[in-house]
Amino acid sequence: MDTETIVSGDMFGVMRATLAYQQLILAGAAGPMDRAPGLPTFNAADLLSFATIEGARAAGIDDRTGSLTPGKEADLIMIRLDHANMLPATDVAATIVAGGHAGNVDLVVVAGGVLKENGVLKGGDAVFDDAAASRDRLFHAAGLPLPV
């Protein structure tokens, strides 16, 4: 997703928006796009694949991330299915795509390092300080004043 003014930049929002857009196309409500013959369809499990291994493949890094495979970096996201917005999780992929959000993410491991555990980001305020510093660098480089 390259435009957060259209859809939230988190992968949960992107997956949900993609699924909703497909439903609009199938219902014939998407304008000219619904007249394209033979458009492929996908389901929630496909979207999870797009967000993981297929995303890694598209970025050219599937040799080291995107799936739990021996020899790859130890990247892992664990999502709680016992939160109220995830119940009942009869179809896990559909539950994650349709109802999941960042607050349901319990554990994040990147290259073997734990970045989020028990739903809490590691590193405390450093994450927020780094994000603000990145924003400030971008605004400065673009010659724009910082938002008030």
Domain count, the chain: 1
Higher pLDDT, 38 or 71: 71
State which residues form the domain around 71. Answer: 11-142
Question: Residue 44 in contact with residue 98, Cβ under 8 Å?
Answer: yes
Q: Is residue 30 domain-resident? A: yes
Domain assignment present for 23: yes
With 80 as the cut, is the pLDDT of residue 7 above it?
no
Question: Could you tell me if residue 4 is inside a domain?
Answer: no
User: Are 118 and 106 spatial neighbours (Cβ–Cβ below 8 Å)?
Assistant: yes
With respect to residue 105, please indicate whether it lies within any of the assigned structural domains: yes
Give the pLDDT band (50/70/90) at residue 34: low
On the question of pLDDT at 35 being above 70, the answer is no
Tell me what the pLDDT averaged over the chain comes to.
88
Q: Over 90: is that where the pLDDT of 94 sits?
A: yes
Rounded mean pLDDT of 24-52?
Answer: 80
Supply the CATH number for residue 114's domain.
2.30.40
